[in-house]
Amino acid sequence: YSSNNKYFTQCEAEGFRKITYYQDRPDVLSKFTTTIIASGYPVLLSNGNLVSETKKGDITTVTWEDPFPKPAYLFALVAGNFDKITDSFTTRSGRNILLEIYVDEGMSSKAHHAMKSVKESMKWDEDRYDLEYDLDRYMIVAANDFNFGAMENKGLNIFNAKYVLADTETATDVDFYNIQSVVGHEYFHNWTGNRVTCRDWFQLSLKEGLTVYRDQEFSSDLNSRSVKRIDDVIRLRTSQFSEDAGSNSHPVRPSEAFNISNFYTATIYEKGAELIRMIETLIGRDKFKLGIKKYFALFDGKAVTTEDFCFAMSEASKKDLTYFQKWYTQKGTPKLEVSRDDSSKHLKLDFKQITSPLLLPISIGLIDESGKCIEKIEVVSSTCEIQNRGDTILLEITKDTESITLNAPKNSRVSFLRDFSAPIILKYQPIENEIYDLATHDTNAFSKWEAMQQLVTTDILKNIDLLQKKQGTTFDEKLIAIYKKILTEPISDPAYVAKLFSFPEFDNIKLEFDGSYPLDEILKSLS
């Protein structure tokens, strides 16, 4: 397509067939050599490495060769007049990679943060997964009229300019953060999506869920891990949970669709990433890395399925993930009810899956009544498999009902779903002061934030009710005391502290309403 006297392509999912005749399916992989002949377009780009360039008068001829087999949806061509910035990256094996970012004329000064993000992405993938870049050059083109956020075409990524251009005069911290994240995402596709692609579009989450997870981890390592996890959960709850609850609910791996374009959803991307995260939670980071290596050893240069990915993880970790794969085919957000029994000298927790049972990795910590984290949790009995990880235990709940008995001090506070270990809705009636104590003393950053959100939400609902009754407003003194305590403690992660002071998302608050509260009263209480 043409935009501002420049030519671009967008071939995912079925665009290449509109350029020429081809078996335009993701499981048809070919090596592409592309020759472009043009006049009046000084920049002519395509996938792979530049092997020749000649000029005769005003006619320019270039040939690009991509040595790696790829499906047609990864083909790209760009022609036009651009400014560019260049840099280089030396891989751990000593190869020198040319880096180029092409932008509209006069915009090159705003592309330096994106270039920095490219180099950070390359280094991170080497450090975390031993994955080196495989071509001689890596190119990004920024287009103002690109409809997608960005596209991972092999060696030639095309971005909406929003995710490339930024400077300190006009961009916010969030703009810089998003550029880093999106640049990372598209670069990571070079292996998870390009070198190993999906057999068919029903397997879209194979590449997108895995790559979203990888860019989440990248952003976590380079910024505040706690804040990144919280932001991802907020996004999941506001966009994906609502999708799961509506008429468009569908599994991570759909079995049917009216149009392939309908696959590009929060469920495929965000929930798909949570499935990958659960696998790493279940087998551990070291075995997950071995699983990634096994995945590429088995399937490099192939078009595969989510079952193939789980097989590689099972082979590397020696853990059977057959039952876990129900997550890919079951739609909706799982719901888990938890009750507690303190009547004996032990703490008994009973779990009930309200929806059709799945394998739920539930991470739990304990805090005693004085606020001290219990560093070693002693399990008396359990109906489910348990992994003891010091001050946290991981329960693998698989049946409709499960239970666990812990040797814990009386009135212990239970920190559920640490790091949001499963994308579920958990219902639990806390004991007196339990949420206050978790907000004050929980050592898990996500669970502490979650407790704070519950307290603030409760206070908001109370004030909405008071406003309805024309009784003014009030404030939770215990909650204010927690805020004061946070501010008087040493601050090692200012971004996380700021997140603790943030209000719940409106979409999350409104889930608590039964429809009897007018919108203006809700907004008034939040102001």
- Smallest CA-to-CA distance from 391 within 420, 415, 409 is with 415
Residue 355's domain is classified under what CATH number?
Answer: 2.60.40.1840
pLDDT band at 507; cut points 50, 70, 90: confident
Per DSSP, 158 falls in state: E
Residue 68: strand, helix, or coil: coil
What is the total residue count of the chain? 527
Say if residue 36 is in the same domain as residue 154: yes
pLDDT of residue 511: 67
Task: Tell me, yes or no, if 186 is annotated catalytic.
Answer: yes
pLDDT for the residue 521: 64
Residue 87 β-bridge partners: 99
Considering the domain architecture, whether residues 23 and 147 belong to the same structural domain is answered as yes
| Cα(57)–Cα(108) distance, integer angstroms | 28
Task: Please give the tally of structural domains in the chain.
Answer: 4
Cis-peptide, bond into residue 316, ω within 30° of zero: no
Residues 418 and 476 in one domain: no
Same domain, 144 and 85: yes
Q: Which position among 152, 186, 243, 450 bears the catalytic label?
A: 186
pLDDT at 517 over 80: no
Residue 15: which H helix or E strand, with range?
A: none
What local confidence, expressed as pLDDT, does residue 518 receive?
A: 66
- Rounded CA-CA distance 418/403 in Å is 18
How many C-beta atoms surround the C-beta of residue 355 within 10 A?
A: 15
The CA distances from residue 21 to 256, 261, 333, in Å, are 26, 21, 41
In tens, the pLDDT along 177-194 reads 999 999 999 999 999 999
Asked which of 255-259, 443-447, 451-455 is least confident by mean pLDDT, the reply is: 255-259
Single-letter amino acid code for the residue at 369? E
pLDDT at 467: 82
Residue whose pair of structure tokens reads 């287009």 in the numeric block: 143
Of the residues 271, 304, 328, which one is the last residue of a structural domain? 328
SS percent in the chain: helix, strand, coil, step 5: 40, 25, 35
Separation of alpha carbons 211 and 491, rounded Å? 32
CATH number at residue 87: 3.30.2010.30
Among the listed residues 98, 81, 80, the one whose alpha carbon sits nearest the alpha carbon of residue 89: 98
Residue with tokens 């509109």: 18
Last residue of a domain, which of 268, 301, 328?
328
Task: Flag whether pLDDT at 516 surpasses 70.
Answer: no
User: Per residue in 182-233, pLDDT tens?
Assistant: 999 999 999 999 999 999 999 999 999 999 999 999 999 999 999 999 999 9
- Phi first, then psi, for residue 362 (nearest 5°) are -110, 115
Asked which of 270, 294, 328 is the last residue of a domain, the reply is 328
pLDDT at position 510 is 72
Scan for tokens 């079951």, then name that residue. 330
Q: Is 1 helix (H, G, I), strand (E, B) or coil?
A: coil
Q: Percentage of the chain with pLDDT > 90?
A: 92
Quote the CA–CA distance of 358 and 251 in Å, as a whole number: 13
Residue 419's domain comprises: 335-430
pLDDT by residue (tens digit) across 311-345? 999 999 999 999 999 999 999 999 999 999 999 99
Question: What is the residue whose two structure tokens read 């991802």?
Answer: 232
| 523 pLDDT above the threshold of 80 | no
Q: What digits encode the pLDDT tens for the residues 373-420?
A: 999 999 999 999 999 999 999 999 999 999 999 999 999 999 999 999
Q: Is the pLDDT of residue 464 over 90?
A: no
What is the C-alpha separation between 173 and 390, in angstroms, rounded? Answer: 36
